[in-house]
Amino acid sequence: MKFRAAVATAAAVPLALGLAACGNGEPKATGYKPSPVATTPAPKPTTTTKAADRVQPATRLNRVTFVSAMTSAVSKQKAWHTVGTVTAQGSTLMRMDGYQTTNPVAMSMEMSGAAFQGKTAKIVVIKKTAYLSIPGLTPAGKYKQVASGLNDQLSELIEGGDPTKIYKSFDKSMVDVKFVRAETIGGQQLDRYAVTVNTAKALALQGKKVPAALPKTLVYSMWLDKSHLVRRMTFDLSGVSMVMSMTDYNKPVHISAPPASKIVK
């Protein structure tokens, strides 16, 4: 029972693993609310202005193109590095740092913070099998092997590591998407969008249980690069804020199961 409770703790934060998000730097979870977009009218061309000198406006994504652009971009990625922080009422609930691959489907993640009494938990997922090292429940440096089919909470944890599941849920849960502005983060020029989703639909489509008394809508702040890969994502839901980053796309990563000598029953 204690071990399953620990799994539930790790899975309890909505959308906590594998969310597409930010580039470099140290973003803060501020519960971003979209602000009006400042626009400057383009100057009217004169008879002396050459067509080649005119600046063409950048193509922005909209409600129709947003989801397909994201899913197409991430489908070409074989691996990425995820770093994230989850806070509740101003206190750090969880920090996450890990790598994921798509072929084979695998994840290696370290988590620390109040959810683990200030210690570090480690999770390795290879396809449908997870290896969990939880402080106080497994000996130091040891893992418990768990098949994902044994409980819903572990399945939710594993599926949470797949950002495509979240992107695809936007297709039917999205209420609105608005371009906010272009921003430079970590030396990259990114397009910032405010994405409003139906909260209940978004969680249900991701296979997650829908808690009672949730706000009807949730606004994600998302920063996309020129190839439409999500580099930063933040949200604030019922006092729980999250900032996630994804970097090192397509860099070689090898994730393997712990050796038999480190697995305990």
Q: Read off the tokens for 22.
A: 């930010």
Look at residue 97 and tell me whether its pLDDT is greater than 80: yes
How far apart (Å, rounded) are the C-alpha atoms in residues 87 and 189? 27
Percent of the chain with pLDDT over 90: 27
pLDDT tens for each residue of 53-65: 443 445 799 988 9
Amino acid 205: pLDDT? 74
Of the listed ranges 16-20, 44-48, 235-239, the one predicted with least confidence = 16-20
Measured N-to-C along each axis, helices 152-159 and 2-11 cross at an angle, to the nearest 10 degrees, of: 30
Q: Kindly report which listed range (36-45, 47-56, 105-114, 133-142) carries the lowest average pLDDT score.
A: 36-45
Q: How confident is the model at residue 22 (pLDDT cuts 50, 70, 90)?
A: very low
* Residue 152, pLDDT above cutoff 70: no
Q: Could you read off the pLDDT of 198-218 as tens digits, one per residue?
A: 888 877 776 666 777 778 888
So what's the pLDDT on residue 204?
A: 78
Q: What angle do CA 81, 86, 87 make, to 5 degrees?
A: 155
The confidence score (pLDDT) of residue 206 equals: 66
Give the least confident one: 2-6, 61-65, 72-76.
Answer: 2-6
DSSP assignments along the chain, one per residue: -HHHHHHHHHH-STT-SS---B-SS----------PPP--PPPPPPTT--GGGSPPPPPPP-TTTHHHHHHHHHHT-SEEEEEEEEEETTEEEEEEEEEEEETTEEEEEEEESGGGTTSEEEEEEETTEEEEE-BTTB-TT-EEEEEGGG-HHHHHHHHTT-HHHHHHHHHHHEEEEEEEEEEEETTEEEEEEEEEEEHHHHHHHTT----TT--SEEEEEEEE-TT--EEEEEEEETTEEEEEEEE-TT------PPPGGGEE-
- pLDDT tens per residue across span 113-130: 887 778 898 989 888 788
- Average per-residue pLDDT for the chain: 74
In the predicted structure, residue 141 carries a pLDDT above the cut 50: yes
Q: Choose between 34 and 157: higher pLDDT.
A: 157
pLDDT of 231 over the 50 cut = yes
Domain boundaries, the chain: 13-31+61-258
pLDDT at 177: 94
In angstroms, the CA 139 to CA 143 distance is 8
Identify the pLDDT of residue 111: 87
CA separation for the pair 165, 174 (Å, rounded): 14
Over residues 78-107, mean pLDDT: 87
Tens digit of each residue's pLDDT (9 = 90 or more) over 156-181:
555 555 556 667 778 788 899 999 99
**Was domain 13-31+61-258 assigned CATH 2.40.30.10?**
no
